[in-house]
Amino acid sequence: MVETKKSLGIGEMVRLGLVLVCYAVASCAVLAIVNTFTAPKIQENQIKKASGAMKNVFAEADDFSPVDETFIASNAAILLSDVYLAKKNGEVIGAVIQASGPTYDRAKIIVGLNTDFTVSGVQFLENTDSPGFGQKASDPNFVLPNGKTFYDQFTGKSAENEFLLNESFDAITGATITSRAVGELVNESCVALKKVLLDN
């Protein structure tokens, strides 16, 4: 005897559809509730991380004043935001900016620029590139042959000229795409920061 599958009747299909809708609504409700409780904490942690990064690139600053100006990068994929003047005893000693954009995946960095247009520092806030390759860019334990971490090699260098891969800064072996992209984030940041410092 050959066994045949029974086709579902309309009523059964409607019932299964309603069950799926109920599961979807319940899942959305749970996610909304979780988000309500976790979003403020996540935002608070992001602010703390960004504040710590600003202090890392400008340790001598005792105040960071927000700059109410929007900057558009020449590369539309790069977002420039959160610009601050770094001050010491009320005097402007530099400026910092947050830049995010595509690398091998994505990265978000803080860049600081002194009033003499030298880079005061670069710090990563996020780096979702490949472990063991692109993530070396933000790894404080990874050291290039020049003896510096990838991001520290920008510190002290003049931003008067564009940073060029393997000319003004070294690439990470096996992570050329990440290296070049981070260099572009730094370049775009410095262009905006130079304008901020000239205007202030």
pTM of the model: 0.77
Share of the chain above pLDDT 90, in %: 70
185, two tokens: 């984030």
Instruction: Report CA Rg, the chain.
Output: 24
Question: Which DSSP symbol is given to 194?
Answer: H
Q: What pLDDT is recorded for position 26? A: 73
In the predicted structure, residue 80 carries a pLDDT above the cut 70 = yes
Q: What angle do CA 136, 163, 184 make, to 5 degrees?
A: 65
132, two tokens: 């063991």
Q: H helices within 58-127, ranges in order? A: none
Q: What pLDDT is recorded for position 22? A: 78
In the predicted structure, residue 64 carries a pLDDT above the cut 70 = yes
